[in-house]
A and B are shown apart, each in its own frame.
Chain A
Amino acid sequence: MFKVIYDGSAEKKAHKNVFADAIARLAAEDPSVIYLDADLMNSAGTYSFWQKNPEQALNCGISEANMIGVAAGLSAVGRKPYCHTFGPFASRRCFDQVFLSVGYAKNSVRIFGSDPGVTAAFNGGTHMPFEDMALMRSIPAAAVFDLADGVQFDWLLTAVKDRPGVTYMRSTRKNYKTIYEAGSTFEIGKGNVLTDGKDLTIIACGLMVGEAMEAAQILGQEGISVRVIDMFCVKPLDKELVWKAAAETGAIVTAENHNVIGGLGDAVAAALLEKTGVPFAKHGVQDQFGQVGPVDYLQEQYGLTAKALVETCRQVLARK
């Protein structure tokens, strides 16, 4: 059960601390848990965990492909690995290893790809994963998550401890807007209706959940009733919830901090077309590379703002 407490304010706890605390807790509870990183423990907040728990933390150095393979091998002999590195290095860089040594070989590894999309900020275009969900979605039986806030991230890290196969999670290391009350629980494969509405549905994930709530409020002030769904689980997608939204609100906009190619938008579009043909638009990065900048600037550059999202909603509504 979850409770929505969004009010536009930022979270207090940085997600890197959520991650570090969760890893420490999970490792203490379950000795089979083991944490691997590729020379980014200081970035993930887990450096001191590593210093104190060398038996349950492995720094693999700047060798992501090896890290994933090592994790796969550890899984094969009974361990439960959690791997972290930046999103592009967790996906593009070692995709074949994730695909084959984990997915195809049926090993089980949980992968945290941090700094998704524009949240890579000053690390710029080489570090900006706009395609990690597209890649991970294409792995059979993988689960792909884009976390909306730290409460959800904390819950998920525990929920996937025993999950077989590839589990990919993207999250900022900093803070998003608060969405959920502490202690909220969720269900893998189910989207969350955050606010109800009947004119249009915004299906969002990750960073864009907060933006979607704001967009809904802007439109609400004009008398347009917007349903907002947090589709934190992009694969497996909650198709029933998508069809329900299409049937009940008649217009869908997806919103993601990701290329419009291959991510949440394409997942929802494909689901929609299985059943219906409502006016639909994907709001996200329009097939562009990343660049350096502060997050708010980048959000403007790539249209990942409530204001830009409102415009897309207006266009879709006009087609109803």
Chain B
Amino acid sequence: MEMKKRKELELFAAQIRLETTKQIATRGFGHLPGSLSVVDVLSILYGDVMRYDPKNPQWEDRDILVMSKGHAGPAVYSTLAMKGFFPMDELKTLNQPGTNLPSHCDRNKTPGVDMTTGSLGQGVSTAIGMTLGNKLAGRDSYTYLFVGDGECDEGQVWEGMLFAAQQKLDHLVVFVDYNKKQLDGYVKDVIGLDDLSQKFSAFGFHTEEIDGHAIEAIANAIAKAKETKGKPTCIVLNTIKGKGLPEVEEMDLNHHIQIDTELAARSIAVLEAEVERLKGEL
């Protein structure tokens, strides 16, 4: 990847992190850590890879994003707002009464959200249905599906994977946000997932396992996915829950956190500094 492009995407990711933190800080609580861990992939998808039209979110031939770990909604909203799907000043309405930006992704409320999710495991099947429907219609669209690692406890995830492989859905790209933590603690202490790549390979997927925060590695993995025919792809992302905010990364149980005004101020300062640094490098 060209250096300039990479830096632009790193900047975009930092901006997504900043806007996501600001949204959640406005409410004082939220699924911040699990939103932060998916940001770099969102940056590449919406900054470089996906085919979409912010003026026509329902465009039939668009590529599709399903955030099956629906609680990462805020990260999706930051991304969509910055790409013009809706006005930036709506971001501060996250989880407010009557909002179009609920905590979990809702296709009937937010322009640019392709599927309603939140009950873990369900987004998997719907993403597969959309991929299959597009394939049967002869469209070339890709579906990018995010699942959480804890989410992989749900049997429905594996029902979906079996089916996706059976249907040879090579336009399905699954990202697993393997941040090693779930609500009740470390994944290994709740339901251990061990070698996820191996599991997905066993289910008939082409797999990649990468640093989920390294822009070039992500880009290369997506490129390989698109070259793969006859099999869906799973990209296991080794990530950090809370990535970008060291204070948040270090919290033990950090699925859903409180953010008081001091923590908010410190976090926003860290991210604003990062944005400035990256702008300077461009």
A residues at B contact (CB < 8 Å): 55, 58, 60-61, 63, 65-79, 96-97, 100-101, 104-106
Contacts of A73 in B (CB 8 A): 115, 125-133
Among candidates A70, A78, A106, residue contacting B126 with C-beta atoms closer than 8 Å: A70
Binary flags per residue of B52-84, CB closer than 8 Å to A gives 1, else 0: 000000001000000000000000000000000
Q: Which 9 A-B pairs have the closest CB atoms?
A: A73-B129, A69-B125, A63-B159, A105-B116, A66-B159, A77-B133, A73-B126, A70-B129, A73-B130
Among candidates B115, B124, B127, B136, residue contacting A105 with C-beta atoms closer than 8 Å: B115
Q: How many residues of B contact A (CB 8 A)?
A: 31
Among candidates A61, A71, A101, residue contacting B159 with C-beta atoms closer than 8 Å: A61
Contacts of B156 in A (CB 8 A): 63, 65-66, 69, 97
Among candidates B116, B128, B137, B162, residue contacting A100 with C-beta atoms closer than 8 Å: B116
Contacts of A76 in B (CB 8 A): 107, 114-115, 126, 129-130, 133
Complex CA distance for A125 and B216, rounded to whole angstroms: 56
Complex CA distance for A65 and B121, rounded to whole angstroms: 9
Contacts of A96 in B (CB 8 A): 119, 122
Among candidates B126, B127, B136, residue contacting A55 with C-beta atoms closer than 8 Å: B136
Query: What are 8 A-B interface contacts by the 8 Å CB criterion?
Result: A55-B136, A61-B162, A69-B129, A73-B133, A77-B130, A96-B119, A96-B122, A101-B122
Binary flags per residue of B31-70, CB closer than 8 Å to A gives 1, else 0: 0000000000000000000000000000010000000000
Taking the nearest CB of chain A, how far is it from the CB of B277, in angstroms? 40
Q: B134 on the interface (CB 8 Å rule)?
A: yes
Q: B185 on the interface (CB 8 Å rule)?
A: no
Complex CA distance for A261 and B106, rounded to whole angstroms: 32
Q: Counting chain B CB atoms within 10 Å of each CB, which of A58, A72, A76 scores highest? A: A76
Complex CA distance for A79 and B60, rounded to whole angstroms: 13
Contacts of B123 in A (CB 8 A): 69
Contacts of A74 in B (CB 8 A): 129-130, 132-133
Contacts of B107 in A (CB 8 A): 76, 105-106
Q: Is the CB of B122 within 8 A of A70?
A: no
Taking the nearest CB of chain A, how far is it from the CB of B203, in angstroms? 13
Complex CA distance for A97 and B130, rounded to whole angstroms: 16
Q: B230 on the interface (CB 8 Å rule)?
A: no
Among candidates A55, A63, A72, A101, residue contacting B163 with C-beta atoms closer than 8 Å: A63
Given A60-B163, A69-B156, A73-B115, check contact A101 B133 (CB 8 Å): no
Taking the nearest CB of chain B, how far is it from the CB of A106, in angstroms? 5
For window 109-156 of B, CB contacts with A under 8 Å fall at 114-116, 118-119, 121-134, 136-137, 155-156
Complex CA distance for A79 and B131, rounded to whole angstroms: 12
Q: Is the CB of A105 within 8 A of B125?
A: no
Q: B99 on the interface (CB 8 Å rule)?
A: no
Contacts of A106 in B (CB 8 A): 107-108
Complex CA distance for A97 and B123, rounded to whole angstroms: 10
Complex CA distance for A74 and B130, rounded to whole angstroms: 5
Taking the nearest CB of chain B, how far is it from the CB of A5, in angstroms? 41
What residue in chain A is nearest B156 (Cβ atoms)?
Answer: A65
15 new A-B contacts at CB < 8 Å, known A69-B124, A73-B128: A58-B132, A63-B156, A65-B125, A69-B129, A72-B125, A72-B129, A73-B133, A74-B133, A76-B129, A77-B134, A77-B137, A78-B133, A96-B122, A97-B122, A100-B122
Contacts of B122 in A (CB 8 A): 65, 69, 96-97, 100-101
